[in-house]
Amino acid sequence: MALTHEDVRRIADLARLELQPAEQAALLGQLNGFFRIVERMSAVDTRGVEPLYTPLSALHEVAAPLREDAVTEVDERTANQASAPEVAAGLFLVPKVIE
Amino acid sequence: MSAAPPAGLPRGVAALARALDERALSSREATAALLAAIEAEQRRPDGLGAFLAVDAEGALAAADAADAARARGDSGPLAGVPIAHKDIFVTRGQPSTAGSRMLAGYRSPFDATVVARLGAGEPGGAPGAGTVCLGKLNCDEFAMGSANENSAFFPTRNPWDRSRVPGGSSGGSAAGVAAGLVAGATGTDTGGSIRQPAAFCGITGIKPTYGVCSRHGMIAFASSLDQAGPLGTSAEDCALLLSAMSGHDPRDATSAARPPQDYAAAMRAPRPGASAARPLQGVRIGLPAEFFPPGLAPDVAAAVRAALTELEKLGATLLDVSLPRTELSIPVYYIIAPAEASSNLSRFDGVRYGHRAARYADLADMYRKTRSEGFGAEVKRRIMIGTYVLSHGYYDAYYLQAQKLRRMIADDFRAAFARCDLIAGPVAPTVAWKLGAGADDPVQAYLADIFTLPASLAGLPGMSVPAGFGEGGLPVGLQLIGDYFAEGALLHAAHALQQATDWHARRPQ
């Protein structure tokens, strides 16, 4: 099943990307080429196989590590916001959402 | 004109550390000499482009501090050894771009754990190894690529042939080490990004087991695959760097809770029953038939076979094993890695850091324009693939199926390691290709990652060791894959090979 221009537009919208017409045309061909490689994978019978989401769980059971619920970091707001595009009074500014 | 570093300067981490120990030279002398070599390289019209940023002032200050610490006798094990970091690791006081326009001008408020441990140490933690950081090394944008041509700034050239790629994504690291501009370097490997450039540039690199090095401060690409590791001129260089940069880090939830390791000691530890002439006596090396397909370039096959013969002479036994899903690792990886990337890269929204578009209509338009301007073509391609395979109605068919196959690939390794101690094969199907050669069909380029992807998916350690030269005098890498946490065994075998051969000691002219 090949992707269409409409599919590419929909995926780009989900990914918050704005594609130029030339970019979109190139991507359509590339994505369809990619999913032809993927077809080989779909043919494998994987019934009853546990997915391997994190590699070390192939070796032993992996549990999420927990730590004490305690403050460990110092306040570095100024340093953390130094590279922000727009900041005022310690807040990140975004375009107005509610009119 | 040669790319060689200043005459007389010892090459590599181990040799430089020894010279500093013996007071044969100071860190300031070594650092100043390398800074001059980097500057000379940057003036060449066909310069290597290994560095995205050079911090001469900071490096010389760190060198002086290292010399003073050595004089006081309280220095770290690698005090004053000049290295540089792949620009995927964030560094305080230096740019941290991930090779992307998205992060041009970004300044990190902290150092990555790996950077701190190799340098002055973590704030409030143990002292670091004391290396001097010369700057930040070029890489593919967000570590996505196999040729370093996806850097948003400029490509890196291969010092063995400047019309060719150095491999990627740690291409600046590999080219810098090969050309002698740094004693060693850090890199990251998601699907082969340490091993393949190490092979293309004729140096040694190791991707440790998933969890050995902290990912804190390593700009995320695919979190279940990303792993940091060193690139150096020898197994010994890698062992020294890896000992310093590895170890448990509570700031990375996937960091393995293991005690600190001395990989240099593990590398030298004699095996039971071994002798000086046969240090690999009793080591069983499995050769997967799938790693030697008919399409493997004859020059690569010949070099790898010659290296295997050397390993046999050193006492190792070669046997046939099978990794039947080697080819399937390509679609499995290129589903899982882009899926994780599309999630990780959603943080680049023009709000908290990085690029923001100058003109937009509203918030959603700001996101779209910011991301479209900030990301390059390969990053967009992978975000698109990842978004699609995670989207409603396709998750089971693609993402879940890939994760199940990933389990089967890990099981194949388990079966192979029941019969052998190490697995060997080529790192890449060919030697380094010409700059621009992969531009026509970026998706076809994914196929060249075939031999490095399986170990990445399983989370196993893998190494690239120089194995001589192929077509055009270009380096070929032997890949060694170990069982989980068998970095010591990998380094031991690579070190034995490097004691008996001189492929790793050859340098580009």
Give the residues across from A55 on adjacent strands.
Answer: none
CATH code assigned to A1-44: 1.10.20.60
Quick one: average pLDDT of B230-243? Answer: 98
Q: State whether residue A25 sits within 8 Å of chain B by CB.
A: no
Q: What percent of chain B has pLDDT over 90?
A: 95
User: Which of A34, A54, A67 faces B224 most closely, judged by CB atoms?
Assistant: A54
Quick one: average pLDDT of A56-85? Answer: 91
The better pLDDT of the pair B141, B2 is held by B141
Confidence of residue B3 (pLDDT cuts 50, 70, 90): very low
For residue B354, pLDDT beyond 90:
yes
Beta-sheet pairing, B462-469 with B475-482: antiparallel
Other beta carbons less than 10 A from residue B252's beta carbon = 18
Give the residues across from B465 on adjacent strands.
Answer: B478
| Residue position matching structure tokens 């399937």 | B328
Interface contact flag, B105 A94, Cβ < 8 Å: no
Count of positions (residues) in chain A: 99
Q: State whether residue B161 sits within 8 Å of chain A by CB.
A: no
- Residue B469, pLDDT score: 98
Confidence of residue A46 (pLDDT cuts 50, 70, 90): very high
Quick one: average pLDDT of A13-19? Answer: 97
Quick one: average pLDDT of A43-67? Answer: 93
Encode pLDDT of B24-78 as tens digits.
Answer: 999 999 999 999 999 999 999 999 999 999 999 999 999 999 999 999 999 999 9
> Which amino acid, one-letter code, is at B507?
R
Contacts of B346 in chain A (CB under 8 A): 16
What is the H or E stretch that residue A87 is in?
strand A87-88
Confidence of residue B506 (pLDDT cuts 50, 70, 90): very high
Any idea where the domains of chain A sit in the sequence? 1-44
Interface contact flag, B404 A59, Cβ < 8 Å: no
Confidence of residue B124 (pLDDT cuts 50, 70, 90): confident
Annotated catalytic residue B151: no
CA distances from B51 to B39, B91, B173, B508 (A): 10, 14, 8, 18
As a whole number, the mean pLDDT across chain B is 96
- Residue B443, pLDDT score: 86
Annotated catalytic residue B434: no
Interface contact flag, B410 A44, Cβ < 8 Å: no
The better pLDDT of the pair B385, A97 is held by B385
Interface contact flag, A41 B457, Cβ < 8 Å: no
- Residue B323, pLDDT score: 98
Interface contact flag, A46 B401, Cβ < 8 Å: yes
Encode pLDDT of B448-500 as tens digits.
Answer: 999 999 999 999 999 999 999 999 999 999 999 999 999 999 999 999 999 99
Confidence of residue B174 (pLDDT cuts 50, 70, 90): very high
User: Which of B250, B349, B398 faces A67 most closely, judged by CB atoms?
Assistant: B250
For residue B2, pLDDT beyond 60:
no
- Residue B439, pLDDT score: 79
Q: What is the DSSP letter of A88?
A: E
- How far apart (Å, rounded) are the C-alpha atoms in residues B416 and B402? 21
Any idea where the domains of chain B sit in the sequence? 13-267
- Residue B6, pLDDT score: 65
- Residue B125, pLDDT score: 86
Contacts of B124 in chain A (CB under 8 A): none
- Residue A1, pLDDT score: 66
- Name which of B384, B399, B483 to mutate to probe chain A: the one with the most chain A Cβ atoms within 10 A of its Cβ: B384
Contacts of B377 in chain A (CB under 8 A): 23
Quick one: average pLDDT of A83-99? Answer: 92
Q: State whether residue A8 sits within 8 Å of chain B by CB.
A: yes
Kindly identify which residue of chain A lies nearest to residue B348, measuring between CA atoms.
Answer: A16
Give the residues across from B186 on adjacent strands.
Answer: B230
- How far apart (Å, rounded) are the C-alpha atoms in residues B93 and B89? 13
- Name which of B215, B388, B446, B450 to mutate to probe chain A: the one with the most chain A Cβ atoms within 10 A of its Cβ: B388
- How far apart (Å, rounded) are the C-alpha atoms in residues B399 and A8? 18
Annotated catalytic residue B313: no
Task: Please list, residue by residue across B386-399, b when 16 or more beta carbons sit within 10 angstroms of its beta carbon and e when fewer do.
Answer: bbbbbbeeeeeebb
Which CATH number does the domain B13-267 belong to among 1.10.490.10, 3.90.1300.10, 3.40.50.720, 2.60.40.180? 3.90.1300.10
Q: How many helices (H) and strands (E) does chain B have?
A: 16, 11
As a whole number, the mean pLDDT across chain A is 93
**The model scores a pTM over 0.80:** yes
Contacts of B459 in chain A (CB under 8 A): 54-56, 58-59
Q: How many Cβ pairs within 8 Å bridge chains A and B?
A: 169
Confidence of residue B1 (pLDDT cuts 50, 70, 90): very low
User: Which of A44, A51, A85 faces B403 most closely, judged by CB atoms?
Assistant: A51
Q: How far B458 CA lies from chain A's nearest CA (Å)? A: 6
Encode pLDDT of A70-79 as tens digits.
Answer: 998 889 999 9
CA B95 to chain centre: 20
Q: What percent of chain B has pLDDT over 70?
A: 99
- Residue B319, pLDDT score: 98
What is the H or E stretch that residue A78 is in?
helix A77-81
Find out whether B140 and B149 touch, Cβ atoms under 8 Å. yes
User: Which of B109, B404, B444 faces A76 most closely, judged by CB atoms?
Assistant: B109
Interface contact flag, A15 B332, Cβ < 8 Å: no
Encode pLDDT of B8-20 as tens digits.
Answer: 799 999 999 999 9
